[in-house]
Amino acid sequence: MILKGCLLYHLCPPRNKQRCARLWKIAYGGLLKIVTGCLLTVYEVSCIKGGLILMNRELPPRFMYPKEWQHLTMFILLTLNVCVDFMSKNVLPQRYVGLEKGTLVLIIYELLLLMVSHIKESEGVELHVHSLLILVVFLLLLVFTAELWAPNMCHLQLMETFLILMMGSWLMQAGFTLYRPVSGHPWQDDDISDIMFVTTFFCWHVMIDASCLLGIYGFSSFWHRYTPSLKLTGPKEAPNYTSSPGPLYELLQEVEQSEKEDQVLLFSKSSP
C-alpha cells in the first residue's frame, strides 16, 4: 500500500501530468538518441589525425578514408531518423506515424547499401563479422517493410525487438572482436578456427538475446498476473483504498490511448 500510494500520488502533481508526459518523451526518448548520435559523429571525426578530409591535394586526386566516411554517414543517417521522430512526436501539431516508419525504412535501406560496400576491402575475420551483421540488418529491413502494411501485428513487433537487440549486441561484439580482442592478440585471418568461432559467438548472441527477451516477457506476464496488489488499478482491486486513481494511472491511460490512436491512424493511411 505504501508503494502504491507513492506511485500514484507523489510522482507528479495532477496539474502537470501532461507536461510531465511530454518532458518524459522529450528527455528520455528523443534527446538522448540525438546526443548519442552527435557524440558518435564527433568521435569518428576526432579519431583521424589531421582531420577527416575528403580528397587529397595530389594529382590525380584520390578519396581519403572511405570506411571512416561511411561510418560518419551511418551515424548521420541514424541521427536524422531520431530528429524526424522527435519532430513528429513533440514539435508538429499532429503525430505522423507513417512518416516515422517510412523514414526509418529508407534509412535502413541506405544503411544496408553502405554496409554491403563497406566490406569490399575486408577479409578473414572482419569480413565474416560484417557479413553476419549485414544478415541481421537485412532481416530487420524486411520486418520494417512489412510493418508499413501490417503495423499492428504483434509477431512483427516481437521480431523487430529481437533483431534490434541482436544488432546492438553484435555491434558491441564486433567492436571488441576487431579493435579490442579479449586475449590482447589480433585474430588470425588465415586460421579457419577463428572464423568458425566468430559464427559460434554469433549463435551465442542469438541464444542470449532470445533468452533475455523471453525472460523480460515472462517476468512482465508474471508481474501482471500474480501481483494484483501492486497494479495501477482502481478501487475494485484495492478495496481499502477509497480515493480516486492518481495522476500516474491517468497518465498511463492517456499514453495507451495515444498509442492506440497512432496505430489506428497508421492503419487507416496504409489501407486503400
Backbone angles phi, psi at 188, to 5 degrees: -100, 115
d(CA 198, CA 221): 35
pLDDT digits (tens, 9 = 90+) for 144-165: 988 888 877 888 888 988 998 9
165 close to 136: Cβ distance less than 8 angstroms:
no
The closest of 88, 130, 132, 134 to 108, measured between CA atoms, is: 134
pLDDT (0 to 100) of residue 9 = 38
Chain mean pLDDT for the chain: 75
d(CA 211, CA 43): 33
The residue assigned the cell 581519403 is 64
Domain boundaries, the chain: 21-55+62-121, 123-227
* Cross-strand partners of 63: 55
Three-state secondary-structure class, residue 23: helix
**Sign, CA torsion 166/168/169/170:** positive
209 close to 169: Cβ distance less than 8 angstroms:
yes
C-alpha cell at 173: 561484439
d(CA 33, CA 82): 7
Is the bond preceding 60 in cis, omega lying within 30 degrees of 0? Answer: yes
First to last CA, the chain: 50
Scanning 179-246, the segments in alpha helix (DSSP H) are 192-226
105 close to 146: Cβ distance less than 8 angstroms:
no
What does pTM read for this prediction?
Answer: 0.67
pLDDT (0 to 100) of residue 229 = 52
171 close to 40: Cβ distance less than 8 angstroms:
no
pLDDT digits (tens, 9 = 90+) for 66-103: 888 888 888 888 888 888 887 887 777 887 777 888 88
Backbone angles phi, psi at 59, to 5 degrees: -120, 125
The residue assigned the cell 523487430 is 160
Query: Quick one: pLDDT band at residue 240, thresholds 50, 70, 90?
Result: very low
Q: Is the pLDDT of residue 1 over 50?
A: no
pLDDT (0 to 100) of residue 33 = 74
pLDDT digits (tens, 9 = 90+) for 161-214: 899 899 889 988 888 888 777 777 777 877 888 888 889 999 999 999 999 999
C-alpha cell at 261: 490512436
